[in-house]
């Protein structure tokens, strides 16, 4: 045999099937949250584990971990992920299985006998890799297929005749006899059938699933499974071998299409959906098992060589055991069983150590179920773990044509799990759920939290295209809202017992009424709608610029939480297990809230908010607009420059982390902004692992003065009158000041002839004008902070046809200005209505250096795009390069 041996696999970092059933969380997000919210020794709990990944990250960071796994399959995966077996032990177990006695020979040889053949060329005795079957009618109906060809490997023929060892031939009489021989499949079938719990209304399904295999495939797979289960092995080794079998079952079935490959298993209305191939391959199950072993072995190797290095969790029997000694991890199943192990009750058997508290509940929301995923889980769980494990799945749904879970049920599942963990959480702990999906998924998580008495601290919804994960941060019952939380008037809440910061008191509804408990009043849609607008307006005022819908939603939910509305809405939900029997449960609260928020924001009579462009919201009311903060984009830019210029060289990761810590809540910037600021200000001379800036305030100030002087000179050469900003006039220039450059008649001009806003005009950096005819205004900026000049000062200078404005920016800011313009409808509108032209300072200098100076030559110097000369230069360089 010269095919790849079972030990030749490559390291890999994920497993097929689990990719779809339970995709792991983004590792960097998990690691960052563990670092921020816990210290070494603290306990991190994952309430909806998808294979122990979060626990693994926690243990890698010297924390202890609880992983309550979503289902028996992920629990089995967690055994491997948290305690990867030594590959030498795995190999020994595999070899031992192959050689284990079965009937008169060994397991591997017995299976080989079922698939025995002779080389069509040299007559040597061999084992077939697979038999090709022709499908006459329907592959799902046994008996309508004919074996037509065999594939095998003959090393003798390869050596003598050359070419590959892979051979294909028609079936001889012995092959045909073996293909349909009675191999005792009926007995094996009834043994295997007992592993499948029978779903109501889908009674035929277990048998149909077993009928996917030919008799000898079924007998062989069953024999491998018996061998895995009958030997005494360490749990991680056992789990690894079961997983290896998982990857053999479908390839060694009528859905098989080659080594390790198979068509998707589909179940609908209680039956296996027919597979419409005209040819299927009957793979030798032992080879399929070798393929599966190779794949899982590579996964185990990948765990050890991954970024975390080797990890060995030490398992305890419950939460309490994590406080008693060497145990670092508890693995359980979500639901009653797992929560029983978390309870803080009186310990039996003289256990006196107090149950340790959970500092951080961190996890992904439960996977949204669908029929395909359920079918795959039912099939795999029954085969690998048997009827008891598989009956924990919602198998009744297999009888139906589709399977969906309401958002209400989603919220209730989350609320139930959080409700169980709440009592054993540290008071200063956190619950953080990573949510995949849109507004409904976020709201379901938030409402689930409210149902369990958790308070909402933050919703960070990524606007990054690839990572659509939202992070919902919750405070456990009894915890204090941390300093930094703000009232709707944007005033910090103090954490006084029973005071405004007490997590269980909602703000009172009137000026003279005392604060009340949340549940004192029923949910009111009109109160909630008012809270939506209030929260959105406060958010936009604090942000100072339009916000994308997902950012707005996060702050609206926090506003609803602060106003007590989330808690009241959650109180209308029923306990998770009461649904179905309790009559009409009323409208889905998650969907209701989605609709309530959407309707309130877009209400025709809405006078305070507007969707300024699709998916982006801004203020309408004059009073609200008057009290907005400086635009977030400008504050982020200034913070980036300040950090770069004062903190000394640092890594890019440190920079991003420190910036992230400065801006959150309503000020959570869009993902690209911080990077755009960094790109604009970072020094090109520093190494790629160190960020710093070359920008220097003093140099920039001198540059500003010199450019204004050149502008003054240019205006005079053009025969126009010149004005320089009143504050700029006092700057030192040459032996005097900038103001000295103004001619006699220019020092006390009548600016009212240009426009009515005289005070604002006086602050414009530079103006060229011809009285009562035309004026050119220049604002010279070395930053890309356009809010002050464009949206404030010049907004007060009304536009007219004789007013032309130039925004002169440093060339290093070009891309950042471009980014801000793309993101801000306000800036774009201001540029448009104010008759602005953007110009790079180096181009303005080049224009002003022309002799003679003529305004007709200005056009090519305007804009943010590369100048034509640059193009010519680049093209020349390109042509001279290697062909």
Binding site for Zn ion (CB under 5 A): 119, 121-122, 154, 156-157
| CA-to-CA dists, residue 685 to 541, 639, 649, angstroms | 39, 21, 12
Nearer to Zn ion, 119 or 315 (CB): 119
Give min distance, CB of 168 to Zn ion, in A.
Answer: 12
- Taking the complex as a whole, the smallest distance from the CB of residue 123 to Zn ion amounts, in Å, to 7
User: 162 or 852: whose CB is closer to Zn ion?
Assistant: 162
Q: Give whichever of 119 and 529 is closer to Zn ion, judged by the CB atom.
A: 119
Q: Which residues contact 288 (CB under 8 A, 6 or more apart)?
A: 247, 248, 249, 251, 252, 256, 259, 260
Q: Which residue has the tokens 């002050």?
A: 788
We find the least distance from the C-beta atom of residue 157 to Zn ion, in angstroms, to be 3
CB of 153 to Zn ion, least distance (A): 9
CB of 435 to Zn ion, least distance (A): 59
Name the residue nearer to Zn ion (CB basis): 157 or 313. Answer: 157
Q: Find the shortest distance in angstroms from Cβ 196 to Zn ion.
A: 41
Count CB-CB contacts under 10 A for residue 717.
14
Conformation bin of residue 847: beta by default, left when phi > 0, alpha when psi is -120 to 50: alpha
496, 502 contact by CB (below 8 A): yes
Nearest approach, Cβ of residue 149 and Zn ion (Å): 16
Nearest distance from residue 288's CB to Zn ion, in Å? 23
Q: Peptide bond before 54: cis, by omega within 30 degrees of 0?
A: no
Q: How far apart are CA 153 and CA 172, in angstroms?
A: 16
| Cα 314 to Cα 322: distance, rounded to the nearest angstrom | 10
- Please give the structure tokens belonging to residue 250: 């479908």
Q: How far is the CB of 178 from Zn ion (least distance, A)?
A: 18
Interstrand relation of 774-781 and 766-770 (parallel, antiparallel or unpaired): antiparallel
Which of 83, 153 has the CB closer to Zn ion? Answer: 153
Burial 754-771 (b: 16+ CB within 10 A, else e): bbebeebbbebbbbbbee
> Cβ distance 536 to 614 under 8 Å?
no
Least Å distance, CB 120 to Zn ion, is: 7
C-alpha gyration radius of the chain = 36
Nearer to Zn ion by Cβ, of 156 and 204: the residue is 156
Torsion angle of C-alpha atoms 819, 822, 825, 831, degrees rounded to 10: 80
> Least CB distance from residue 158 to Zn ion, whole Å?
8
Residue with tokens 């462009």: 613
As measured in angstroms, the least distance from the Cβ of 154 to Zn ion is: 3
Residues 6+ apart with CB under 8 A from 118: 124, 125, 126, 172, 174
Of 126 and 678, CB closest to Zn ion: 126
Looking up tokens 């359920």 gives: 374
Query: Which pair of structure tokens corresponds to residue 735?
Result: 């032996």
Q: Counting beta carbons within 10 angstroms of the beta carbon of residue 104, is it exposed (0 to 12), middle (13 to 18) or buried (19 or more)?
A: exposed
For Zn ion, the nearest residue by Cβ is 119
CB closer to Zn ion out of 167 and 195: 167
How many whole angstroms separate alpha carbon 291 and alpha carbon 168? 20
Select 91 or 165, whichever has its Cβ closest to Zn ion.
165
CB of 129 to Zn ion, least distance (A): 14
3-state SS class at 755: coil
Between CA 132 and CA 145 the distance in angstroms is: 10
Comparing CB distances to Zn ion, the nearer of 175 and 561 is: 175
CA distance 234 to 877: 66
Question: Residue 66 or residue 171: which is nearer to Zn ion going by CB?
Answer: 171
> Which CB, 121 or 726, lies closer to Zn ion?
121
Task: Judge contact between 11 and 40, C-beta under 8 A.
Answer: no
**Would you call 15 helix, strand, or coil by DSSP?**
coil
Q: Which is nearer to Zn ion, 152 or 378 (CB)?
A: 152
Residue with the two structure tokens 């970092």: 13
């Amino acid at each position: 045999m010269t095919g790849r041996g079972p030990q030749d696999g490559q390291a890999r970092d994920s497993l097929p099937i689990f990719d779809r059933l339970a995709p792991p969380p983004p590792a960097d997000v998990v690691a960052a949250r563990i670092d921020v919210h816990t210290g070494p020794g603290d306990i991190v709990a994952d309430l909806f584990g998808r294979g122990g990944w979060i626990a693994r990250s926690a243990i890698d960071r010297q924390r202890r971990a609880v992983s309550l796994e979503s289902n028996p399959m992920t629990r089995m995966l967690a055994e491997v992920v948290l305690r990867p077996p030594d590959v030498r032990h795995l190999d020994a177990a595999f070899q031992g299985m192959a050689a284990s006695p079965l009937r008169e020979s060994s397991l591997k040889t017995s299976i080989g006998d079922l698939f025995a053949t002779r080389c069509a060329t040299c007559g040597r005795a061999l084992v077939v890799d697979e038999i090709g079957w022709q499908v006459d009618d329907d592959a799902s109906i046994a008996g309508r297929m004919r074996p037509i060809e065999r594939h095998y490997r003959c090393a003798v023929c390869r050596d003598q005749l050359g070419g590959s060892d892979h051979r294909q031939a028609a079936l001889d009489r012995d092959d045909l006899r073996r293909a349909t021989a009675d191999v005792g499949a009926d007995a094996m079938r009834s043994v295997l059938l007992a592993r499948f719990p029978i779903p109501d209304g889908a009674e035929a399904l277990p048998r149909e699933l077993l009928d996917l295999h030919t008799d000898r495939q079924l007998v062989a797979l069953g024999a491998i499974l018996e061998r895995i289960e009958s030997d005494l092995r360490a749990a991680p080794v056992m789990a690894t071998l079961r997983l290896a079998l998982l990857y053999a079952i479908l390839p060694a079935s009528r859905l098989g299409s080659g080594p390790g490959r198979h068509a998707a298993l589909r179940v609908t209305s209680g039956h296996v959906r027919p597979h419409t191939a005209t040819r299927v391959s009957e793979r030798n199950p032992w080879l399929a098992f070798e393929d599966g072993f190779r794949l899982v072995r590579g996964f185990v190797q990948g765990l050890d060589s991954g970024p975390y290095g080797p990890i060995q969790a030490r398992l305890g029997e419950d939460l309490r055991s994590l406080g008693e000694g060497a145990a670092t991890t508890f693995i359980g199943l979500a639901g009653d069983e797992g929560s029983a192990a978390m309870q803080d009750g009186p310990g039996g058997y003289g256990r006196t150590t107090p149950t340790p508290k959970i500092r951080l509940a961190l996890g992904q929301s439960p996977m949204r179920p669908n029929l395909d995923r359920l079918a795959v889980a039912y099939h795999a769980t029954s085969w690998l773990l048997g009827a008891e494990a598989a009956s924990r799945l919602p198998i009744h749904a297999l009888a139906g044509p589709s399977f969906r879970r309401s958002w209400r049920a989603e919220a209730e599942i989350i609320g139930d799990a959080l409700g169980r963990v709440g009592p054993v959480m540290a008071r200063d702990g956190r619950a953080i759920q990573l949510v995949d999906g849109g507004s409904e998924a976020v709201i379901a998580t938030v409402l689930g939290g409210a149902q369990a008495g958790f308070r909402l601290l933050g919703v960070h919804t990524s606007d990054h295209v690839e990572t659509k994960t939202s992070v919902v941060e919750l405070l456990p019952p009894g915890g204090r809202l941390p300093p930094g939380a703000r009232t709707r008037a944007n005033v910090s809440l103090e954490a006084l017992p029973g005071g405004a910061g007490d997590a269980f008191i909602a703000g009172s509804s009137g000026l003279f009424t005392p604060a009340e408990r949340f549940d004192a009043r029923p949910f009111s849609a009109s109160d909630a709608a008012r809270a939506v607008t209030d929260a959105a307006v406060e958010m936009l005022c604090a942000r100072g610029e339009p916000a994308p819908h997902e950012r707005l939603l996060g702050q609206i939910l926090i506003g609803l939480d602060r106003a007590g509305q989330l808690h009241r809405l959650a109180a209308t939900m029923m306990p998770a297990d009461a649904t179905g029997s309790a009559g009409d449960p009323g409208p889905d609260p998650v969907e209701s809230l989605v609709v309530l928020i959407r309707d309130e924001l877009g209400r025709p009579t809405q006078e305070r908010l507007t969707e300024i462009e699709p998916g982006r919201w801004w203020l309408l009311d004059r009073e609200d607009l008057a009290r907005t903060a400086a635009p977030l984009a400008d504050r982020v830019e200034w913070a980036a420059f300040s950090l770069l210029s004062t903190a000394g060289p640092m890594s890019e990761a440190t920079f991003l982390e420190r910036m992230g810590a400065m801006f959150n809540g309503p000020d959570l910037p869009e993902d690209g902004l911080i990077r755009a600021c960094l790109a604009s200000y970072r020094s090109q001379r520093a190494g790629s692992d160190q960020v710093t800036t070359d920008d220097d305030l003093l140099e920039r100030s001198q540059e500003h003065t010199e450019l204004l002087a050149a502008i003054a000179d240019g205006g005079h050469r053009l025969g126009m009158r010149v004005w320089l900003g009143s504050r700029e006039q006092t700057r030192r220039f040459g032996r005097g000041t900038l103001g000295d450059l103004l001619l006699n008649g220019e020092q006390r001009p009548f600016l009212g002839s240009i426009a009515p806003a005289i005070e604002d005009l006086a602050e414009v950096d530079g103006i060229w004008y011809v009285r009562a005819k035309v004026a050119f205004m220049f604002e010279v900026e070395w930053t890309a902070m356009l809010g002050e000049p464009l949206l404030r000062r010049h907004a007060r200078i009304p536009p007219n046809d004789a007013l032309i404005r130039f925004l002169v920016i440093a060339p290093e800011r070009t891309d950042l200005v471009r980014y801000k313009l793309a993101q801000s409808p306000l800036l774009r509108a201001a540029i448009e209505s104010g008759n602005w032209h953007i110009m790079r300072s180096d181009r303005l200098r080049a224009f002003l250096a022309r002799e003679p100076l003529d305004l007709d030559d200005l056009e090519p110097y305007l804009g943010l795009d590369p100048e034509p000369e640059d193009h010519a230069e680049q093209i020349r360089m390109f042509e001279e390069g290697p062909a």
